[in-house]
Amino acid sequence: MKHPKLGILIACICLTSSFLKAQNSDTVKYTLKSVSNNFSIPQLTINDAYLSPLEYKGIGVGFGRITDQYLSPQNTNFSFHSRQSGIVGFTTNPTSSAFMTYVAYNYGWGYYYHYRPMSGMQLLVGGVWDYELGYKSNSRNVNNSTNIDLSSSINLALGFKYNIITPKRIMRVSMTIETPLMGYMFVPMGGMSYYEILVMGNFDNCSHLSHIFNRQGYKQTFAFEIPLKRMTWRVGLSSQNIIYQANGMTFTNKSSAITLGASFDMAVFSGRINSAPANFLNANN
């Protein structure tokens, strides 16, 4: 080489750059996406005045998925939250003379503010916008034997998380509750058939603004998290009690269930024993 000193200088610059890059990779922070999946067998209580004045009770199969992630590594006071759930249920009236099939899907997303009054404790305040699509079918041989549930609401959302430190692992107790504030709901008039609505295009008095005076209730979850070597198991309770009125009719949708599921971090797929490096931020911590 004609200029050996120049070659040595270039080599030193390359080595220095590699060293600085390795250092920066340890200090740059990233946000993890925390995902929780659960399965449940809920007890159902449904009163659909459009289909029947009687209360129907039964059992169903449900699933749920919850996702949490900080908005950015620099802002750990706010997190993005999304949830989705589905259910298939079978209910009967008090005399078991008719049964009702119930299928529903709900999706919601929103934001939480994280307040940490002490180490290991979080209080969450935020809002969730959700929509729900449901289908009910009554076995009675009548003209109006099916009904569609369609609604969308802005909900006040509150949460609580507390870490329980043991010699081997950090367990957690968490709770969330949502209550509707305002939104939209589809409720046809009693006696109006879906043929008249969908084929003839008669949507009179089918669309309603929902608010705290005609739609009340809550959706609540409680979970106990147990971290194992490769997964964090979740055991908990879930319940909802929604009551709404329109066109002179009252509707109720109640459920309660024991839930079983697991949570993991999308980047490392681990529980809290083998946790992610310190520069990976989990919205659940």
- What are the pLDDT tens digits along the chain (285 aa)? 455 555 555 555 554 454 444 444 456 666 778 889 999 999 999 999 999 999 999 999 999 999 999 888 888 899 999 999 999 999 999 999 999 999 999 999 999 999 999 989 999 999 999 999 999 999 886 677 899 999 999 999 999 999 998 888 889 999 999 999 999 999 999 888 888 888 888 888 999 999 999 999 999 999 999 988 777 899 999 999 999 999 999 999 999 999 999 987 655 444 544 455 555 555 566
pTM beyond cutoff 0.85: no
User: Which among 13, 36, 16, 32 is positioned nearest to 24, based on CA atoms?
Assistant: 16
Return the pLDDT at 94. Answer: 94
Give dist(CA 58, CA 92) in Å, integer: 6
CA-based radius of gyration for the chain: 26
Q: Which residues contact 38 (CB under 8 A, 6 or more apart)?
A: 63, 64, 65, 66, 234, 236, 259, 260, 261, 262
Cβ atoms of 58 and 97 closer than 8 Å: no
How many CB atoms lie under 10 A from the CB of residue 111?
16
Return the pLDDT at 232. Answer: 87
Return the pLDDT at 285. Answer: 61
